[in-house]
Amino acid sequence: MDLFGLDDDERVIAETAAAFAEKRLAPNALAWDADEHFPTDVLREAAELGMAAIYCNDDVGGTGLRRLDGVRIFEQLATADPTIAAFLSIHNMCAWMVDSYGTQEQRKTWLPKLASMEAIASYCLTEPGAGSDAAALRTKAVRDGDHYVLDGVKQFISGAGVSDVYVVMARTGADGPRGISAFIVEKGTPGLSFGANEEKMGWHAQPTAQVILDGVRVPADAMLGGAEGEGTGFSIAMNGLNGGRINIAACSLGGAQAAYDKALSYLASREAFGSALVDEPTIRFTLAEMATALETSRNMLWRAAIALDTGNPRKVELCAMAKLHVTEACYTVADQALQLHGGYGYLREYGLEKIVRDLRVHRILEGTNEIMRVVIGRAASASARKSA
């Protein structure tokens, strides 16, 4: 795969996402942010273009694209609104889990609805006392005849209260990762409720709240993968997060690219000391750093996506590297773009402060960047032991 050029099909995919972002997201992003409006109607328009089940098989309504196509889609969407792009990433992760690990009945029941976003999905792993140490989660699912009864609380859940279906990780067995299973829980199930919408620094255009499970009774066949899925929930969650990490990195890249483009336009039109700011040598040095950060980020991201597509043995490590590098480098680019605007960058109407607020959380979710360092360091240690 040539990282520096796209074939015709790849170009059409990226251009379709870019056109949708320009037409439907960009004109509304600031208003959605200010009003804390979650545009489910626009999400369903994205679904009509195949952006809600990107990696799912076409026999159940999926688009059947690669991870490499996906990161390009999310980058383009995030140039207009990182918040909405990020939520689509989460929904796609849930759809992929159902397609990859669900029974045929689960796939046929849920994937057409997820692909059209008739059913919007949320991912429920994090808990008040189990964030980075996800294997320590305490939500329980106890077998009761032909049902499971779920009790517990999930924290920081995007879409909570609005989404129609929740992929919930719960403990069905002993402590540790092998005692965790995944369940599909429908909104409206008795005992399922939601906390208040969190007041966040960014991501104002998508709700975030607790998901509360108090005696939630679901059929045994709601376990993802059926009876054979018992004990596989942690593995499902971690495999899903490989894709989630590069997708959220793509959202950082898109937001940073938009911030950089805004800075170029502003600097070219703004004069000081008798010339355009863009001609000031020190500013050019900053632009050089920003441009280089964007290119290195894109190359790392595409490399990780290809590794995931091809089953590269280093895929987990490479996805962690991409998430770590891209989210940190691109947050810096966005912050530099705001700085280059001076006081104007701090004003809401210019859009820079929103990008900075939205991108900050990318270093926390889908595994904190500290955990990414743990993953990468563990791989380095394993490599060292093999070569010793």
Query: Which DSSP string do the residues of 303-324 spell out, in sequence order?
Result: HHHHHHHHT-TTHHHHHHHHHH
What's the rounded Cα separation, in Å, for the pair 362 and 45? Answer: 25
366 has catalytic annotation: yes
Q: Report in angstroms the alpha-carbon separations of 385 from 308, 317, 373.
A: 24, 16, 18
What's the Cα-to-Cα distance from 56 to each of 1, 63, 302, rounded to whole Å?
Answer: 22, 6, 20
Count Cβ neighbours within 10 Å for each residue of 338-349 and write b for 16 or more, e otherwise.
Answer: bebbeeebeeee
Distance between start and end Cα atoms, the chain: 33
Residues with Cβ within 8 Å of 139's Cβ and at least 6 positions away in sequence, in order, are 127, 150, 151, 152, 153, 154, 168, 169, 170, 171, 213
Two tokens, residue 169: 């990780």
CA gap 241, 92 in Å, rounded: 11
Q: What is the dihedral of CA 123, 125, 131, 132, to 10 degrees?
A: -90
Annotated catalytic residue: which of 186, 199, 366, 370?
366
Could you give the CA distance from residue 41 to residue 96 in angstroms, rounded to a whole number? Answer: 22
Identify the bridge partners of residue 216 per DSSP, sorted by sequence position: 150
Active site positions, annotated: 366
